[in-house]
A and B are shown apart, each in its own frame.
Chain A
Amino acid sequence: MRITSEYVGQIGRLSRLALTDAEKERLTTHLNAILAHFERLQELDTTQVPPTAHSIPMENVFRDDTPRPGLTPAEATAAAPESAEDMFVGPRIVET
């Protein structure tokens, strides 16, 4: 399987990366080289093999639903590029 520069642009949009044309070209070359390496996996018949998402078996973990100290709003917003009144400020997302 080979992917095109146009398709790389589409993946870039899904990844929220504004790629330059030069970056798209470079990524197309590199990604195709890596995907070619992945072809080896098709040598294995895995139709009867279950997937493993986690190596160590784990049950759901619960804790008591009791309040405990956390960050204050001021601490939580302290590193934001822009904040006001203990809230994060971002570009407008709805038209008025």
Chain B
Amino acid sequence: MAELHTLTAHELADQMRRGAVSAREIAEATLARIAAVDERVKSFVTVTPEAALAQAREVDERRARGEALPPLAGIPIALKDNLCTRGVRTTCASKILDNWEPPYDATVVARLRAQHAVFVGKTNLDEFAMGSSTENSGLFVTHNPWDLSRVPGGSSGGSAAAVAAREATLALGSDTGGSIRQPAAFCGVVGLKPTYGRVSRYGLVAFASSLDQIGPMARDVTDAALLLQAISGSDPSDATSAPVAVPDYMQALRPEVKGLKLGVPREFFAQGVAPEVEAAVRAAVDRLVALGAEAEEVSMPHIDYAFPAFYIIAPAEASSNLARYDGVRYGLREPASDPTTMMERTRDAGFGAEVKQRIMLGTFTLSAGYYDAYYLKALKVRTLVKQDFDRAFERFDLLVAPVTPTVAFAIGERANDPLQMKLADVCTVPVNLAGGPAIAVPCGFHAGLPIGLQLMAKPFAEETLLRAAYTYEQATDWHLRAPAL
């Protein structure tokens, strides 16, 4: 039998059901893998072995009593460290929240607990999810399992690296402008950003509230669907979670794309996309066409403006959301005799350079003299971008694009050039502005580094995404490759 940490969630679930393996053995194998490789990969901010083994023991006891258990019972899952976990340190990789223990669970965490999933730890991220390489973590840098000198992407770089390095079977990330899909592509795993409102954001530490969405990261499409199923659905604690029925996503997993209409928006291939990435993505389109889909070029004229609009809207929302870190109710405090000085010192000491830059940018674009020229302008451009998507989805079931313009870049390569760094997200931010779901699946390699295929769908059409991604995956073997660690 293959080593347990190398199996997918659906394979592990099958084996547990058959009694071939226990949840304890799976948890021990996963914790041993973390102990063996995480010193080099550095996916985890916090590993929780005692809690994981206790959860695994409970799964085994319930199964021994003959209980029918949910699909994710006993499956090792890593959580991005901006998801609140009751009594377990939640840092957002920021010094301002270092050692903060939330008094409650995020809704997604509570839903996974109810499924008896096994939480193995909390993963590294760019501080407050602001970044594209996990180099902005206020704690340490995470390494790409395919090449330790390269970034894993970001901001969910720890979750992507953990899944790719087989340190966790599944992981949750969050995606504001590509933070699930971009690291998934860089690390050769599957990452899905659900429709805005599909998954409750309650207990996700807020970055940009009109864009943030929690989603699954996994080694194959089936596992991503299993995790999406477990976390989806409206929640009274998040007024922006949508009261839309959750379909059975497992039913979408069938190899059938005959007649599916794929739009290939040329603007997504124009923005500094490396030839090897373009070739891999176009080959993936050809493969889907060979399997029965129909593909056609399309123009989405405002896509080029999505990137600047996003980098006005997201920091504006962040500057407001991060006002809560004032040294009073939780987190760091740098003492001073008056409240303003205390807040200024606390925030200066607690926030890293990128977070400060985004707070400053957001404060500027929201300030009275510049609101119309920047923030309001960006919201209007958001309308134009959304209309481009709406028009495209009148003709097409899915849009196909690269996830990232290049493969993973070297650690340090873009650290001092904020614009170059942000351009790693140029293909992922548009759909966040429009609100629909998107998935990243492995579609090739260049110089030993993974390339990702991005599929985008209209709001709440996750089933179409999953069906096409599953069909492609079953016809290829990119997802079966593993990094040598």
A residues bordering B, Cβ < 8 Å?
A: 1, 3, 8, 11-19, 23, 26-27, 30-31, 33-34, 37-38, 40-44, 46, 49-56, 58, 61, 63, 71, 75-82, 88, 90-93
Across chains A and B, the number of contacting residue pairs, with CB separation under 8 Å, is 168
Q: Are A34 and B311 in contact (CB under 8 A)?
A: yes
Q: Are B348 and A79 in contact (CB under 8 A)?
A: no
Set of chain B residues within 8 Å of A15, measured between Cβ atoms: 319, 347, 356, 359-360, 363
Pairs A–B under 8 Å by Cβ, sample size 27: A13-B344, A17-B356, A18-B345, A18-B347, A18-B348, A38-B311, A41-B305, A41-B308, A41-B312, A41-B378, A44-B302, A49-B381, A51-B379, A51-B380, A52-B383, A53-B210, A53-B379, A55-B434, A56-B195, A56-B240, A56-B435, A58-B239, A77-B329, A90-B339, A90-B342, A91-B342, A93-B338
Q: Which of A14, A49, A88 contacts B384 (CB 8 A)?
A: A49
Q: Are B357 and A30 in contact (CB under 8 A)?
A: yes
Q: Are B336 and A79 in contact (CB under 8 A)?
A: no
Set of chain B residues within 8 Å of A77, measured between Cβ atoms: 329
Contact digits for B240-269, partner A, Cβ 8 Å, 1 yes 0 no: 101000000000000000000000000000
Query: Is B100 among interface residues, defined by CB-CB distance under 8 A?
Result: yes
Distance of B45 from chain A, by nearest CB (Å): 17
Which chain B residue lies CB-closest to A3?
A: B364
A51 to B433, CA, bound (A): 12
Known: A27-B360, A50-B383, A79-B331. A34 touches B418 (CB 8 A): yes
Q: Are A81 and B359 in contact (CB under 8 A)?
A: no
Query: Is B193 among interface residues, defined by CB-CB distance under 8 A?
Result: no
Which chain A residue lies CB-closest to B364?
A: A11
Q: How many residues of B contact A (CB 8 A)?
A: 71
Which chain A residue lies CB-closest to B423?
A: A37
Known: A15-B359, A56-B435. A46 touches B381 (CB 8 A): yes
- Given contacts A15-B360, A40-B304, 19 further A-B pairs with CB under 8 A are A16-B343, A17-B360, A18-B341, A18-B347, A19-B348, A27-B357, A44-B384, A46-B381, A51-B379, A52-B379, A53-B379, A54-B240, A55-B386, A55-B436, A56-B435, A58-B242, A79-B101, A81-B332, A90-B342
Q: Are B196 and A40 in contact (CB under 8 A)?
A: no
Q: Are B364 and A31 in contact (CB under 8 A)?
A: yes
Set of chain B residues within 8 Å of A79, measured between Cβ atoms: 100-101, 103, 329-331
Set of chain B residues within 8 Å of A19, measured between Cβ atoms: 348, 356
Known: A38-B308, A52-B379, A90-B339. A14 touches B367 (CB 8 A): yes
Distance of A50 from chain B, by nearest CB (Å): 6
SS class of chain A's interface: helix, strand, loop or mixed? loop
Q: Which of B236, B328, B340, B344 contacts A88 (CB 8 A)?
A: B328
Set of chain A residues within 8 Å of B331, measured between Cβ atoms: 79, 81
Set of chain B residues within 8 Å of A18, measured between Cβ atoms: 341, 344-345, 347-348
Q: Which of A14, A42, A75 contacts B103 (CB 8 A)?
A: A75
Distance of B94 from chain A, by nearest CB (Å): 14
Q: Which of A58, A71, A76 contacts B240 (CB 8 A)?
A: A58
Query: Is B479 among interface residues, defined by CB-CB distance under 8 A?
Result: no
Set of chain A residues within 8 Å of B367, measured between Cβ atoms: 11, 14
Q: Are A23 and B103 in contact (CB under 8 A)?
A: no
Query: Is B62 among interface residues, defined by CB-CB distance under 8 A?
Result: no
A40 to B431, CA, bound (A): 20
B residues bordering A, Cβ < 8 Å?
A: 100-101, 103-104, 195-197, 210, 236, 239-240, 242, 302, 304-305, 308-309, 311-312, 319, 323, 326-333, 335-345, 347-348, 351, 353, 356-357, 359-361, 363-364, 367, 373-374, 376-384, 386, 418-419, 433-436, 459
Known: A11-B367, A17-B351, A50-B383. A90 touches B328 (CB 8 A): yes
A44 to B379, CA, bound (A): 12
Q: Are B359 and A49 in contact (CB under 8 A)?
A: no
Set of chain A residues within 8 Å of B382, measured between Cβ atoms: 51-52, 55
Which chain A residue lies CB-closest to B312?
A: A38
Set of chain A residues within 8 Å of B236, measured between Cβ atoms: 63
A44 to B351, CA, bound (A): 35
Distance of B130 from chain A, by nearest CB (Å): 13
Distance of B236 from chain A, by nearest CB (Å): 6
Q: Which of A14, A17, A34, A42 contacts B361 (CB 8 A)?
A: A34
A17 to B351, CA, bound (A): 9
A53 to B374, CA, bound (A): 14
Known: A37-B419, A80-B330. A11 touches B196 (CB 8 A): no
Distance of A74 from chain B, by nearest CB (Å): 10
Set of chain B residues within 8 Å of A23, measured between Cβ atoms: 353, 356
Distance of B386 from chain A, by nearest CB (Å): 6
Which chain A residue lies CB-closest to B359?
A: A15
Distance of A31 from chain B, by nearest CB (Å): 6
Known: A15-B359, A78-B103, A81-B333. A41 touches B348 (CB 8 A): no
